[in-house]
Structure formats: structure tokens, C-alpha cells
């Protein structure tokens, strides 16, 4: 396996950073993609995407429902799931199997196979795109098995949590 290089932009998710910038960049890409693909941007779709962008922690479907009702949306689980399915299908969000929860995509709209780094202490997630993760399969395995999608979840402890731990000891 080749070495995984972690870019600064990816590891920043675990540190204090200007999250307003993350939010704005993703929101802009979301709007642009919906416009280009002629996708209907309903208030509910926009709201759910916004919730998934809140911080870099994935949120579960029932948590989303809770937040929606607090904000005055009357949604039932099937409706929330339909919105999540839409966001995932269009490449705006991903499901994190480990948490059975969802997160906004860092590069919304493009088809890609993400690799996630997941901190088991703070539950934050950082997404690397295929290019950055360098986890590539050789041609032989590809001819034996046609890959339709690949989602890699790497579990560990981020630098911020690691430093906290050292201070405590
Ligand atoms: Zn951020
Ligand atoms: Zn993504
Ligand atoms: Zn952490």
C-alpha cells in the first residue's frame, strides 16, 4: 500500500480553524451544483445540508429530525431519509458507517470515492478525496472485481485530542 499523505486542508478539520470559510465554500458549491444540474433546491434540502455542515462531526438521522422540528420544519423520518438520500446520490453528503450518521461532503457535486479520517475521541471527521488518499488498487484486482463505490473509514486519534491526552497525564 502506498503512503497516505495528509494535506493541511484535511487535518485542519481537527484543529481550531475558520469554519465560516468551510461553510461558505461548501454552500457556494452546493448552490452552484444544484443550478447546473437543474436540481430543485427546496427549503428542506437546503436546511439539511446546512445542518450537515455545522461542524465536522457527523449527525444521525434522528438528530437531524430533532433539529428540523426545532427550526419549525415538520418532517417525518421518511421525508428526512429521502432528503438524505438525495444529498448522498447527488454527491453533497456522505454516510459514515461507523457512526451511522451523515456529513456534508467537502467537495460537493463531484463523483469521488472518499477516504475518511475519523477521530474516536472528538468524533470529528475529515474527508480526503481519492487523489489525496492515494489508496489505489492495481489493475489486476480491478479486472477481477468491478468497483462501483469505495468508502474508506480510517479510525484514530487526531493531533488535538492526542495533545490533550498528554497534558492530562
Ligand atoms: Zn470547518
Ligand atoms: Zn465527498
Ligand atoms: Zn480528536
At 31-90, the pLDDT tens digits run: 999 999 999 999 999 999 999 999 999 999 999 999 999 999 988 888 999 999 999 999
Q: How far is the CA of 115 from the centre of ligand 2 (A)?
A: 8
Q: Ligand nearest 94 Cα, by number?
A: 2
Q: Alpha-carbon distance 1 to 19, whole Å?
A: 33
Q: Is the pLDDT of residue 92 over 90?
A: yes
Residues 92-118 have a mean pLDDT of 89
Its pTM stands at 0.84
Q: Ligand nearest 10 Cα, by number?
A: 1
Q: Ligand nearest 14 Cα, by number?
A: 3
Residues 147-161 have a mean pLDDT of 87
8 A C-beta contact, residue 104 and residue 93: yes
Is 8-168 assigned to CATH 1.10.10.10? yes
Cα distances (angstroms) measured from residue 67 to each of 61, 70, 71: 10, 5, 6
Residues 116-126 have a mean pLDDT of 95
Q: How far is the CA of 91 from the centre of ligand 1 (A)?
A: 18
Query: Can you spell out the DSSP letters for 32-84?
Result: HHHHHTT----HHHHHHHHHHTSSSS-B-HHHHHHHHHHTT----HHHHHHHH
Q: How far is the CA of 24 from the centre of ligand 1 (A)?
A: 10
Q: How far is the CA of 137 from the centre of ligand 1 (A)?
A: 30
Q: What are phi and psi of 117, to 5 degrees?
A: -105, 125
Please state the domain extents for the chain: 8-168
> For residue 94, what pLDDT is reported?
94
Cα atoms in the 13 Å half-sphere on the side-chain side of 11: 11
Q: Ligand nearest 122 Cα, by number?
A: 3
Q: Is the pLDDT of residue 141 over 70?
A: no
Question: Residue 105's pLDDT band (boundaries 50, 70, 90)?
Answer: very high
Q: Provide the 10 A C-beta neighbour count for residue 15.
A: 11
C-alpha cell at 16: 481550531
Cβ burial, residue 34 (10 Å; 0-12/13-18/19+)? buried
Q: How far is the CA of 61 from the centre of ligand 1 (A)?
A: 21
Amino acid at each position: 500500500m502506498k503512503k497516505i499523505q495528509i494535506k493541511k486542508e484535511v487535518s485542519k478539520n481537527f484543529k481550531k480553524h475558520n469554519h465560516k470559510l468551510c461553510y461558505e465554500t461548501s454552500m457556494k458549491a452546493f448552490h452552484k451544483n444544484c443550478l447546473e444540474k437543474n436540481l430543485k433546491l427546496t427549503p428542506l434540502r437546503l436546511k439539511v445540508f446546512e445542518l450537515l455542515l455545522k461542524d465536522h462531526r457527523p449527525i444521525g438521522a434522528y438528530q437531524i429530525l430533532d433539529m428540523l422540528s426545532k427550526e419549525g420544519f415538520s418532517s417525518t423520518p421518511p421525508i428526512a431519509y429521502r432528503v438524505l438520500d438525495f444529498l448522498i446520490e447527488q454527491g453533497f453528503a456522505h454516510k459514515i458507517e461507523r457512526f451511522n450518521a451523515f456529513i456534508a461532503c467537502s467537495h460537493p457535486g463531484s463523483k469521488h470515492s472518499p477516504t475518511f479520517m475519523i477521530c474516536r475521541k472528538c468524533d470529528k471527521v475529515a474527508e480526503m478525496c481519492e487523489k489525496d488518499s492515494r489508496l489505489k488498487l492495481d489493475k489486476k484486482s480491478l479486472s477481477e472485481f468491478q468497483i462501483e463505490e469505495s468508502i474508506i473509514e480510517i479510525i484514530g486519534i487526531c493531533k488535538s485530542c492526542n495533545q490533550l491526552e498528554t497534558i492530562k497525564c
